[in-house]
A and B are shown apart, each in its own frame.
Chain A
Amino acid sequence: MPGAEAVADFAVGLGVDLVAIDRLRAAVQRRGETILDRLLTSNELGLVRGARGLIWSSVAGRFAAKEATKKLFGCCGELARWTEVEILTGRHGEPRISLHGSTREAARRCGVTRLTVSISHEKTHAIAVVLGWREQYRGGMDEHP
């Protein structure tokens, strides 16, 4: 926000999800990659492909992060759409969430100005936790008590 100084962040929502990697892989093997096309954006599909094909832990981690985001938004009665929640990679390799379209508007209605995500996985499962934050500004119009 131009001319405004962020003075504090408040956590306003939390979501978590756990994904069984084998179940996801089996579903894609049975029905084809059309399943992934429904859940991941083209940017994400590029990120989950390695030299030896799909990196299933990465697919499952993104799936979990999207589900966790959907839960967070669901707590304030809003819908986050699968392909409008994009799990990208930050400059240090960390996951970061980018919202688009109606889901970006839903975030505004929920009072969420920023999302942070953490993803972890081992052989069988991937887990993601998403925190929704509201930034409070000094001298801005979007100041909340």
Chain B
Amino acid sequence: MNTRETLIDVLRELKIDPAGIEAESKLREDLEIDSTELVEIAVAIEKRLAVSLDTDEFLALKTFGNMIDYVDRAAVRA
């Protein structure tokens, strides 16, 4: 399972509909993800991929593509 698939799986766990999701999809406006959910996504990703994510940086991400890139960079550092 790659990063994109893992993130979509986590979104499903949170009952966030990933239908039609694209790299350009805006996390807050298009996917209606709020700050609480972003923190929860960060915690879930850390547990699944054994990476360390900075909460402030993660919550400042704008798009789904930004999120994939950020998690991929964290995985390289891990």
A residues at B contact (CB < 8 Å): 19-20, 23-24, 27, 30-32, 34-35, 38-39, 63, 67, 79, 81-82
Task: Assess whether A38 is in contact with B55, with CB atoms less than 8 Å apart.
Answer: yes
Complex contact B34–A34 (CB within 8 A)? no
- What 10 A-B pairs are tightest by C-beta distance, nearest first? A27-B40, A38-B55, A31-B43, A81-B56, A27-B36, A24-B36, A23-B36, A35-B39, A31-B40, A34-B43
Query: Total contacts A to B, CB within 8 angstroms?
Result: 35
The yes or no answer to B16 lying at the interface (CB within 8 A) is: no
The chain B residues found within 8 Å of chain A, CB to CB, are: 34-37, 39-40, 42-44, 55-56, 59-60
A contact patch SS:
helix
The majority secondary structure among interface residues of chain B is helix
A63: chain B residues at CB < 8 Å are 35-36
> Which chain A residues border B56 with CB–CB below 8 Å?
79, 81-82
Point out the residues of chain A lying under 8 angstroms from B59, CB to CB.
82
Q: Closest CB-CB distance, A126 to chain B, in whole Å?
A: 12
Given known contacts A19-B36, A31-B44, A67-B35, A79 and B60 CB-to-CB distance under 8 angstroms: yes
Cα-based distance from A39 to B56 in the complex (angstroms): 9
- In whole angstroms, what is the CA distance A35 to B53 when docked? 12
Which B residues are in CB contact (< 8 Å) with A30?
40
Interfacial chain A residues near B36, Cβ < 8 Å: 19-20, 23-24, 27, 63
